[in-house]
Amino acid sequence: MLAAKVNRLMKHRRVARARKDLVDADRIRDELKAKGIEFQDEKDGTTIWLNRPSTLPLLRDYIAIAIAIVIALALSYYLW
Protein backbone atom coordinates (compact mmCIF):
# COMPACT_ATOMS: atom_id res chain seq x y z
CA MET A 1 0.00 0.00 0.00
CA LEU A 2 1.44 3.34 -0.95
CA ALA A 3 2.21 5.87 1.76
CA ALA A 4 0.02 8.44 -0.01
CA LYS A 5 -2.99 6.13 0.19
CA VAL A 6 -2.32 5.43 3.87
CA ASN A 7 -2.10 9.16 4.58
CA ARG A 8 -5.34 9.76 2.66
CA LEU A 9 -7.13 7.03 4.62
CA MET A 10 -5.81 8.38 7.92
CA LYS A 11 -7.06 11.86 7.00
CA HIS A 12 -10.52 10.46 6.20
CA ARG A 13 -10.45 8.56 9.49
CA ARG A 14 -9.59 11.72 11.46
CA VAL A 15 -12.51 13.51 9.80
CA ALA A 16 -14.83 10.59 10.56
CA ARG A 17 -13.74 10.55 14.21
CA ALA A 18 -14.28 14.31 14.46
CA ARG A 19 -17.83 13.82 13.10
CA LYS A 20 -18.29 10.97 15.61
CA ASP A 21 -18.84 8.61 12.66
CA LEU A 22 -17.28 5.65 14.46
CA VAL A 23 -18.57 3.09 11.95
CA ASP A 24 -16.59 4.71 9.12
CA ALA A 25 -13.55 5.30 11.36
CA ASP A 26 -13.56 1.65 12.44
CA ARG A 27 -13.95 0.49 8.83
CA ILE A 28 -10.85 2.46 7.83
CA ARG A 29 -8.94 1.13 10.86
CA ASP A 30 -9.85 -2.44 9.87
CA GLU A 31 -8.81 -1.83 6.26
CA LEU A 32 -5.41 -0.55 7.35
CA LYS A 33 -4.98 -3.33 9.90
CA ALA A 34 -5.66 -5.91 7.17
CA LYS A 35 -2.70 -4.39 5.30
CA GLY A 36 -0.49 -4.69 8.39
CA ILE A 37 -0.67 -1.04 9.42
CA GLU A 38 -1.57 -0.51 13.06
CA PHE A 39 -1.87 2.54 15.27
CA GLN A 40 -3.26 3.51 18.63
CA ASP A 41 -5.58 6.40 19.39
CA GLU A 42 -4.82 8.34 22.55
CA LYS A 43 -7.38 10.03 24.80
CA ASP A 44 -6.09 13.47 23.80
CA GLY A 45 -6.94 12.77 20.14
CA THR A 46 -3.43 12.01 18.94
CA THR A 47 -2.52 8.86 17.05
CA ILE A 48 0.56 6.78 17.77
CA TRP A 49 1.86 4.61 14.94
CA LEU A 50 2.75 1.11 16.04
CA ASN A 51 4.30 0.23 12.68
CA ARG A 52 4.27 3.18 10.31
CA PRO A 53 4.74 2.16 6.69
CA SER A 54 7.72 3.40 4.75
CA THR A 55 8.18 3.40 1.00
CA LEU A 56 11.69 4.85 1.05
CA PRO A 57 14.80 2.75 1.63
CA LEU A 58 16.74 3.69 4.72
CA LEU A 59 20.06 5.50 4.50
CA ARG A 60 21.77 2.42 5.94
CA ASP A 61 20.56 0.46 2.90
CA TYR A 62 22.30 2.90 0.57
CA ILE A 63 25.46 2.82 2.67
CA ALA A 64 25.50 -0.99 2.63
CA ILE A 65 25.12 -1.00 -1.16
CA ALA A 66 27.90 1.57 -1.57
CA ILE A 67 30.25 -0.46 0.64
CA ALA A 68 29.49 -3.63 -1.32
CA ILE A 69 30.26 -1.86 -4.60
CA VAL A 70 33.55 -0.47 -3.26
CA ILE A 71 34.60 -3.91 -2.02
CA ALA A 72 33.66 -5.54 -5.33
CA LEU A 73 35.62 -2.94 -7.29
CA ALA A 74 38.64 -3.28 -5.01
CA LEU A 75 38.61 -7.06 -5.29
CA SER A 76 38.27 -6.97 -9.06
CA TYR A 77 41.16 -4.51 -9.29
CA TYR A 78 43.47 -6.60 -7.09
CA LEU A 79 42.50 -9.93 -8.65
CA TRP A 80 43.31 -8.79 -12.16
- How confident is the model over 17-72, as pLDDT tens digits? 889 999 999 999 999 888 878 888 888 877 877 765 555 556 777 888 899 999 99
Q: What is the pLDDT of residue 26?
A: 92
pTM > 0.75: yes or no:
no
Q: What is the pLDDT of residue 1?
A: 46
Q: Is 49 helix (H, G, I), strand (E, B) or coil?
A: strand
With beta carbons less than 8 A apart as the criterion, state whether 42 and 26 touch: no
Distance CA 2, CA 40 (A): 20
CA quadruple 33, 34, 36, 37: dihedral, nearest 10: -30
Query: CA-CA distances (angstroms) from residue 47 to 25, 41, 43, 62, 79?
Result: 13, 5, 9, 30, 55
The domain spans of the chain are 3-79
Q: What is the pLDDT of residue 2?
A: 67
